Amino acid sequence: MLEKALIKELINFHNHSFTIIDKQENVIYWSDRAAEIFGMSNEYVIGKKITEVFREEHLVMLESLRDNKTIVKKQHKATNNIYVDIKSMPILIDGEVEGAIVSEVNVTEQKRQKEQIETLKNKVSVLSDNMKQLKNGNFRNIIYKSSVIEHVKTRIEKAAKTNANILITGETGVGKELFAKSIHDTSDVSGEFIPINCGAIPSHLFESELFGYEKGAFTGANREGNKGKIELAEGGTLFLDEMGDMPLDMQVKFLRVLQEKQYFKLGGNKEKSADFRLVSATNRKIADLLASDDFRSDLLYRINVVNIHIPPLRERPDDIESLFFYYLYSLSEKYGTDVKYANQQLINHLKAYHWPGNVRELINVIERLVIFSNEEALNNEIFDQYLTEVGEDAKQATLPSVTEELELKDYVEKIEADYIRHVLEENGQNVERASKALGISRPTLYAKVKRFGL
């Protein structure tokens, strides 16, 4: 009796569980630790076929039983949410396999902590980059890590020193207004930055918005008259956003201002001089503007002396992580919540998505994650749901769409990086298994992971 009790104590002394099956694959021993790890009682498991208790693909001990193999595995997925270090052996009697024994120790928590540490390390590095960025003079509000944006910054610094008219192009939400502001901040001008959104002003009000009006210029006008944006921008920068939407009749009038540097206020008879630096922006392609009947090409040539193109976010995935953590912090502050933990899988998914709405879309997604994640970690499902909502397959690695600015080798590299990221995820970030699935050696995979920053 005492002996039996002692053996039981010994078996449960460490954190290892023990399970024994017989030749018919029935469970004949299930230790207390096994019951603890898997949350299944002795009474429930003993006598059952092991395949009734666990899914066959998770059962290493069947290999020991069927193939007479000893197997030692680190971080084996025992169930959908439990990871164990495992050792499995056949039980031999007179050289015959009569059963199998498996011993497991639960490492789910260690695995979770290791992942958290990895993410925290990434966070710290991204945040320290962002800190450097915040000290980055006139570009401090622009968060980036990519060499693509570094290149844009260099072009802006050169262009801002001249008086040339600048046209910023780029898809919606890439941050054209931020870059316009940085041009203003970098220029040596004393006046203000005056933005005007050409797409948002009804055409009958456009002229008075831009040129201003004198007292009593028209019925309903302000008695004192009004300053137009051109006057407000004196000695500073006039930023015409969505320039492609300027009404045609205004285009003619504005072109005259640019040529003559003079204009009349509405209802005024004294010519005023126009003295501003012009920065315009459009999300239409220059070639489309030139081809269309609703935009004058002579005006386009005038405003596009220097072109600054802001590439879409999908062409600079390095910026996604920096922007993500920057906005995660600022939006958590805005909503008065703790900054929640973001696991690597979420970051990888964010980096793989093609962001047609660019940074604006990313900010909206982060806002959702901050508002609707209830646990201590951000809820990945919120992003999956979002992808479904916008018609994307959440599980599929997304292919970058073709753009004219991308060279073939860069496009191929992006596909390669996306696919490797996808296979790594499918294999629980296990480099050994992923390298086998990809048909490349482990060192080659490591080198690629490092190069693509996966």
Ligand X SMILES: Nc1ncnc2c1ncn2[C@@H]1O[C@H](COP(=O)(O)OP(=O)(O)OP(=O)(O)O)[C@@H](O)[C@H]1O
* Nearest CB to ligand X, comparing residues 16 and 314: 314
Residue 262 buriedness (CB in 10 A; 0-12 / 13-18 / 19+) = exposed
Name the residues that contact ligand X, by CB under 6 A.
142-144, 170, 172-178, 241, 283, 323, 359-360, 363
- In the complex, residue closest to ligand X by CB: 175
- Shortest separation between residue 323's beta carbon and ligand X, angstroms: 6
How many angstroms from the chain centroid is the CA of residue 356?
A: 12
Q: Which long-range contacts (CB under 8 A, 24 or more apart) does 37-40 make?
A: 37/78, 37/82, 37/84, 37/104, 37/106, 38/78, 38/79, 38/82
Q: Smallest distance from the beta carbon of 64 to ligand X, in angstroms?
A: 55
**Least CB distance from residue 283 to ligand X, whole Å?**
4
- In whole angstroms, how far apart are CA 372 and each of 62, 149, 204, 390? 43, 32, 43, 18
Instruction: Give the whole-angstrom CA distance, residue 372 versus residue 174.
Output: 25
Which ranges of 135-146 does DSSP label H, i.e. alpha helix? none
State the burial class of residue 404 (Cβ atoms within 10 Å of its Cβ: 0-12, 13-18, 19+): exposed
Radius of gyration for the alpha carbons in the chain, expressed in angstroms and rounded: 32
Alpha helices, DSSP H only, in 198-264?
Answer: 203-211, 229-232, 248-260
Query: Are the CB atoms for 284 and 419 separated by under 8 Å?
Result: no
Residue for token pair 């948002």: 200
Rounded CA-CA distance 223/152 in Å is 45
Six-digit token string for 208: 């008075």
Give 333-341's long-range contacts (Cβ < 8 A, gap of 24+).
335/370, 335/371, 337/370, 338/376, 340/369, 340/370, 340/373, 340/375, 340/376, 340/377, 340/378, 341/116, 341/119, 341/376, 341/377, 341/378
Q: Which is nearer to ligand X, 320 or 420 (CB)?
A: 320
The answer to whether 321 and 347 have CB atoms below 8 angstroms apart is yes
Q: Which residue in 139, 126, 124, 454 sits closest to 321, CA to CA?
A: 126
Query: Closer CB to ligand X, residue 363 or residue 382?
Result: 363
Output 60 or 196, the one with its CB closest to ligand X.
Answer: 196
Contact (CB, 8 A) for 136 and 154: no
- Comparing CB distances to ligand X, the nearer of 83 and 355 is 355
Task: Provide φ and ψ at 373, rounded to 5°.
Answer: -85, 120
Tokens found for residue 196 = 């005007």
Contact in structure between 356 and 179 (CB atoms under 8 Å) = no
> In the complex with ligand X, which residue's Cβ is closer, 2 or 200?
200
Helix segments in 213-357, DSSP class H = 229-232, 248-260, 286-291, 297-303, 317-334, 344-352
Cβ closest to ligand X, residue 38 vs residue 325: 325
Q: Which amino acid does the sequence have at 90?
A: P
